[in-house]
Amino acid sequence: MDMFKIIWFLIIFVSIVSVEVAGRPAVTGSEEDEELEKQLKLLNKPASKTIKTEHGDIIDCVDIYKQPSLDHPALKNHTIQMEPSAFPEELRGHGTPLSSSNLMEVKPRRLTCPRGTVPIPRIQKEDLIRIRSLPKTTKANTYNPSDNDIHVTHFADCHIREDPTNHIYGASAMFSIYNPKIATIYDFSGVSIWIQNFQGDKYNSIRAGWIVNPNLYGDNNTRLYTRWTVDRDDQTGCYNTLCPGFIQVGSVPLNQVLNQPTHGDLQSTLDLLVFKDPKTKNWWLTISKNRILVGYWPSNLFDVLKDNAQRIAWGGFAYSPGNEAALEMGSGQFKSNDQENTCFAGGLQVIDEFNLYRDPSKFTIDAYSDKPACYGVDYRGNTTGEIGYNVLFGGPGGLKCGN
């Protein structure tokens, strides 16, 4: 099997890490072990330095020009962009300062790698074993409320209504951080910004947020994550850097644990910005408006998302397989107008064609929960002086949700 065939074989496995698993992961036979070792050699590039974090993660400092994402066939001759050509700017006189005194932004840890290298989480054999145990896809990570095949991943969000006249070039939000309870290794729960485009049967999306996913990470910690797809998670796309695609340029590893503050009643937040570079058309991910660079998705990975987005969503999701009771989303409770106890996405803004921040008021905003009996959603518009344009979402899950 040549290199690209092995890579795309792995992509298919990795892109289905969020589905129902019927049995316990197991590896049998020397041939299977040999195949695992081949895949590990392809994914784990030589490192000039290795860092073990306090949470047991192994991070390799890999030559930026030899990172595994460049193995993607579409990126064979890709020239790495080291920083955006321009960052989005506030519309003069329209900036909305967020002044809630009980918020503390959690800035993901930046690792000290040698110059010219980037931090790439090492993939270990047990990670691939979990992936290889998965029997089928369920398109569990495709987000579109009109899809009838979404029956195991629940959503609660607010979104800009899909419209072919929308020309959106990014979005930002600050999410409150929680650690929802997970019932089994096969469950996951998290929050996201969704950057999306639909065209007939085509669907492209980029996601960024935090997630608790033991099948992906091997623990129940709340972690930074990204995900992308160009075909409704059918054959393409994956989390973080687990398959070729996302180009890492900053010093923030994508799998890192988001530690919450221990300062009394302060609410920890994760501030994210995804935006399209006005010159290169690459989709950038940065942490907060302090412009902490993480990396980007090259524009030529996409087809209908190559130019702009027509739909943006902010909110939460929760997955539990089969006949299990649905699990917690967000803080595990929902109280309308109570941002201290309910998960929120605040400071909601979109990026326009002039690379300017705009509030969502110029668009039609819908609030949606596929299971309102157990997950609430409350789009509150602009609560001036607190968290700007915002949405509250989440809930306890339970048997009443059903699958």
Structural domain boundaries in the chain: 3-394
User: Taking the model in full, what pTM does it have?
Assistant: 0.87
Secondary structure of residue 177 in the 3-state scheme: coil
Tell me the sheet residues that pair with 383. Answer: 388
Tens of pLDDT, residues 97-131: 555 567 888 878 889 999 999 999 999 888 888 76
Tens of pLDDT, residues 46-80: 999 999 999 999 999 999 999 999 999 989 889 99
Please, are residues 225 and 211 in contact by the beta-carbon 8 Å criterion?
A: yes
What is the reported pLDDT for 279?
96
Please, are residues 62 and 118 in contact by the beta-carbon 8 Å criterion?
A: yes
What is the reported pLDDT for 165?
87
d(CA 197, CA 162): 8
Q: Does position 348 have pLDDT exceeding 50, yes or no?
A: yes
Highest mean pLDDT among 266-270, 314-318, 396-400: 314-318
Those residues with Cβ within 8 angstroms of residue 143's Cβ, 6 or more apart along the chain or in another chain: 150, 155, 194, 196, 205, 313, 317
- Residue 49, token pair as written in the block: 């330095």
Specify burial of residue 26 (Cβ count, 10 A radius: 0-12, 13-18, 19+). Answer: exposed
- Residue 215, token pair as written in the block: 């099948």
| Angle between the N-to-C axes of helices 125-132 and 30-43, in degrees from 0 to 180, rounded to the nearest 10 | 110
Specify burial of residue 398 (Cβ count, 10 A radius: 0-12, 13-18, 19+). Answer: middle
Mark out the alpha helices in 66-162 (DSSP H runs). Answer: 125-132
- Mean pLDDT check: name the lowest of 148-152, 239-243, 296-300: 148-152
Those residues with Cβ within 8 angstroms of residue 39's Cβ, 6 or more apart along the chain or in another chain: 6, 10, 128
Element (DSSP H or E) covering residue 365:
strand 365-369
C-alpha dihedral over 7, 66, 109, 209, to 10 degrees? Answer: -40
Quickly tell me which residue has 């020397």 as its tokens: 30
Q: Does position 343 have pLDDT exceeding 90, yes or no?
A: yes
Q: Does position 27 have pLDDT exceeding 50, yes or no?
A: no
- Mean pLDDT check: name the lowest of 284-288, 337-341, 361-365, 399-403: 399-403
| Confidence at 90, pLDDT banded by 50, 70, 90 | confident
Specify burial of residue 325 (Cβ count, 10 A radius: 0-12, 13-18, 19+). Answer: middle
